[in-house]
Amino acid sequence: MDTARLELSAQRYREAEQALEAAREDLQAEAVAALQQGEERGNQATVARITGWTREYVRRLKKKADETAAQDG
């Protein structure tokens, strides 16, 4: 068994997971920023189209962001 190769693969996998999570957080933050500008329905459609997320997911993301902002407010 080549444990060095296994360890390297495991490390690369963990790093890829971390990069994916960071990219997801960035994308969600940018989507929320886009949703907070201008006409809501049009913005939701645009965010859904660009991200590939459903309109329902986009609405939930905005609602969660709005609730968090209200609590921090």
For 17-65, the pLDDT digits (tens) are 999 999 999 999 999 999 988 777 789 999 999 999 999 999 999 999 8
Structure token digits, residue 50: 């660009």
pTM equals: 0.81
The total of other beta-carbon atoms located within 10 Å of residue 24's CB is 10
